[in-house]
Structure 1
Amino acid sequence: MPERKPPRAAPLVLDVNSGYDELNLGRLALISGQKTVPPGLRRWQKTILTPDGRPVVITCTVPDDQVVPHGLDNDFMVGLVNLCFEAGLPDGPFTVSAYGLLKASGFPDSAQYYRALEESIVRLNKANYTIDEGWFMHGPHSWTTQSFAQVNYLSYVRSRSGVRGTSVITVQLAPPIMESLRAGYIKPLDLNFYRSLSQPLVRAVYRQLDALHFDESTADGLVRELSAPLMAWGSRLGILSDRPDNVARTLKPAHDELRARGYVAEVELTGRGRDKLLRYVFGPPPVGEYPELALLLSARGVKSGVAVRLSTVFPERIEEAARRFDHYLKISSRPVANPGGLLVAMVQRPEDFAELPGYAAADARPGPPPAETPAKGTGKGRSARQRPAAQDELDALEAREEAKLAALQGQALVDWVLKQLTLLGTMKHFTLPERSQLAELVLHGQLDGRTVVREATRAIAGGAPAVLAVVEDVRRHLQVTHP
């Protein structure tokens, strides 16, 4: 189970190349890839196949005043999943500004997209899904039946004109989604490539193909090509047509773009009428962001596709897991039947292998400094020579972080403050209007957000009374500024 990320000084705006996708969401395609859907479409049902060939029935229903999720909703859901990772996979709701969610979803800062954002998060909260024995969970009963809304809890503040950049949005993802994220049932997602694709349907096809591309049951953990009946594939993506020629015509721009970008090497359509079969041949296998870490895993028996996925999702764990694995092979009294599987488990569940006999973790916290032993031929111990250099490096790193924090201004500073107060558990004590006021005051320089975060951090050591004292201090400031 992935550990919670510690708080760190970084704005809660994702502008990076690599992100994550939860594999169930990627494979089940719960959101129609079509840019628009009929205004009266409030229910759909489809049957898809799991990677092992089992049929799964999925049903989506929405209230009378809504339509089913579609189009840009896919992008906002990808943004929410990655923001949830940035927030440390919290046990409860997490908070972000509307601007932060917009940027995490890959959209420009404009009134058009703020309107789309508000409509989307409401749809994601209102739409209820039932998945019949098709949601994968680790454990003895792998395929489970689930019923949920993707955004399980939603609250936000809007102005008269609607949601704007400083609007505070608080969300909680559905419990089965959170369980999957914490269990590591995720895959890397090239956010830079994903965001660069031109249309919602192109991004939906890419997301679906990329989720199915990673398959641990294959020889190297990757599917080289994929075939599906055209009509079933169109239904899976939410294309609302029962005519094969219309489905093929709708998919053609997506196929042309993905082929031109080199993601797929070939797209082949064979057969006639409703029996047409679609075949994709993937391009070069993914290398991942950390090929040297993937090599550490594959050299020890991990399938190449799995190595790419794990090294991208858990880069900070790979070297330590490899050391633990090598130590285990030395001390084990019997041969390891599945060395690759053992190393995967060490990466995904490090807590299960925390107490290996005779092993000292490389990243263990040091105790009191040992007495120095003079090195041969010198009057000083080796540790005495190395400690100043290590301390200088640490000081330089802290100085760089302080400089980055000092440079944060405007909306980036607002997002950093909201993230830190969420991680510290302080934000939950404020009402929604108070959160919105706080964001406005920080944005316009009427409240020093850095000082608020420092005080909230110090208050952690004093327990609940100290935390509530900080909350009351901020609340008094809000009341003075906005009586």
Structure 2
Amino acid sequence: MTSGYDELNLGRLALISGQKTVPANLQRWQKQALTPDGRPVIVTCTVPADQVVPHGLDNDFMVGLLNLCFEAGLPDGPFSVSAYALLKTSGLPDTAQYYQSLQESLIRLNKASYTIDEGWYASGAQAWTTQSFAQLSYLSYARSKAGIRGTNVITVQLAPPIMESLRAGYIKPLDVEFYRSLSQPLVRAVYRQLDALHFDERTANGLVAEISAPLLAWSTRLGLTSDRPDNLLRTLEPAHKELLARGYIAEVVITGRGRSKDVRYVFGPPPVSQHPHLAALLGERGVKQGVAVRLSMVFPERIEEAARRFDQYVKVSVRPIGNRGGLMVAMVQRPEDFADLPAGAGATKPTPAARATSNRRDQQDLEIRDAQEEARIAALEGQALVDWTLRQLTLLGVLKRLPLHQRAVLGEALQGGTLDARHLVQQATHALTGGSLALEVLVEDLQTALNGSRSFRGKAPQPLPVVSEGKQK
């Protein structure tokens, strides 16, 4: 499994129709869904008169944006990517047809307004809330006369409730390689919906073995517009066949007659973590199998530290712990809430010799990782180098200081080689260590180069001051 991420509310509520196309006059829909505890939720979507509701490939682009947002470090404000990077992360071909689809999709995701009545789970507050938002609360991009192309820079901001969920860990792993390999938008939408429902912390092992639903309600949940059961079954049949053939589901059973038909999905083998030792650490501390798989794939870097804090807390706690698994999950999902808890305070203090050996080993590992990363960056070329450069400039705070039209020029300059990508990132990194003034100087130099006045030079790196460890006079 190649793990990406999906926000659980979006996966469960299916805000984007799975149909490849929708009627040209479909500018509003309303549907009823159920929360995991069985309460009905009303979801409404409306778009302006010149648009249609999000559908089809919009699901793929939204999945791509969620994962690029993670890659950008879940920023507080907008983040920028190249159109090519968004297309590839969404698993779609690099062709003029799909760039046109991308442009239309971004507009729909920005224009469509959703209202969810007490059905959006706010993980931080641990409560069902009412929310109104557009999935993309901010959108900007530049385009040529032919429309968006690969080097164009797209800047977006995900809606605040989506960002809050992502930061609070209300997410699940998504096998993006499997997701992208599915043949049609509807097949991917059915898979995404089933996968969101497959993980259920209320069950004995954190996974449900099967789910059932009235056919009409299930089809409405997926955004299918027909209300005729036979038509709906014909529409769903290719998705059922493909997911059965791929082993994701083991059985699809249709029962009942007419409008009373029900559909039952039996899941295939349970998902397996890419980090079985981390899933085992969680399981040993009371976390259910499905939850352990999900957390080990979404937060692999947090598990071992959380386990140490958990073990230490168990040793010193004067009260019995009623829900060990729940506490361990909280320590992984919200580490900031447990920052004051010692991580293994009762452990034996290492000797000076042991500390020195450990420090040397850590330094060697660091040097090896640095060398590997330098080799990887040195091998980048073409669009991969452009995408890496834009990601670095976003993280360093350079891209947000450039106006929109210059971001587009920057992408073209990097693609054409008129700007040295690695030199630019090196200079931006150095400027960041000099504070905001140094970064502003670099941005001004870069803007001058993008305007064509002269080439970008940057500043020559200055040696860092040497601080003596001896006694100051």
TM score, norm. by length of structure 2 = 0.92
Q: Which residue of 2 aligns with 1:337?
A: 322
Match of 1:268 among 248, 253, 256: 253
Distance 1:383 1:138 in 2: 40
Deviates more, 1:192-201 or 1:217-226: 217-226
Matching residue within 269, 283, 289 for 1:304: 289
Equivalent residue runs for 1:275-286 within 5 Å: 275-286=260-271
**Aligned equivalents of 2:375 and 2:429: distance in 1?**
19
Q: How do 1:23-172 and structure 2 match up within 5 A?
A: 23-138=8-123, 142-172=127-157
CA distance in 2, matches of 1:462, 1:361: 41
Is 1:441–2:413 an aligned residue pair? yes
Q: Distance in 2 between matches of 1:153 and 1:358?
A: 40
d(CA) in 1 for partners of 2:99, 2:303: 39
Provide the identity percentage: 69
The corresponding residue for 2:393 is: 421
Q: Equivalent residues in 2 for 1:392-431 (5 A)?
A: 392-431=364-403
CA distance in 2 between partners of 1:482 and 1:56 (Å): 59
In structure 2, the CA distance between the partners of 1:358 and 1:39, relative to structure 1 (3 Å rule), is closer
Q: Helix, strand or coil: the match of 2:451?
A: helix
> What's the secondary structure of 1:315's corresponding residue?
coil
TM-score normalised over the length of structure 1: 0.91
Q: Does 1:217 align with 2:202?
A: yes
Structure 1, gaps ≥5 residues long = 1-15, 363-369, 374-380
Q: Which moved more, 1:333-342 or 1:80-89?
A: 333-342
CA RMSD of aligned residues (A): 1.8
- In the alignment, structure 2 segments of 5+ residues that lack a partner are 456-473
**In structure 2, what residue type is equivalent to 1:317?**
R
CA-to-partner distance for each residue in 1:57-108, whole Å, 9 max, x for gaps?
A: 1111111111111000000000000000000000000000000000000011
Please say if residues 305 and 343 of structure 2, whose CA atoms lie closer than 8 Å, have aligned partners that are also in contact: no
Q: 1:70 to 1:461 in 2, by over 3 A?
A: same
Please say if residues 220 and 304 of structure 1, whose CA atoms lie closer than 8 Å, have aligned partners that are also in contact: yes
| Distance in structure 1 (CA, Å) of the matches to 2:234 and 2:454 | 56
Q: Which structure has more RCO (C-alpha within 8 Å, separation ≥ 6)? A: 1
Contact 1:297 1:307 in 2 (8 A): yes
Q: Deviations over 1:394-432 (max 9, x none)?
A: 222211111111111111111111111111111111011
Runs of 4+ in 1 over 6 A off after TM superposition: none
Q: Cα 1:131–1:408, aligned 2, differ >3 Å: closer, same or farther?
A: same
CA distance in 2 between partners of 1:118 and 1:18 (Å): 26
Q: Is 1:250 equivalent to 2:235 in the alignment?
A: yes
Question: What CA distance in whole angstroms lies between the structure 2 residues aligned with 1:318 and 1:392?
Answer: 24
Cα distance in 2 between the residues matched to 1:127 and 1:92: 20
Distance in 1 between residues matched to 2:62 and 2:358, nearest whole Å: 47
Q: Distance in 2 between matches of 1:459 and 1:26?
A: 41
2:465 aligns to what?
none
Match of 2:444 in 1: 472
Deviation at 1:360, TM superposition (A): 5.0
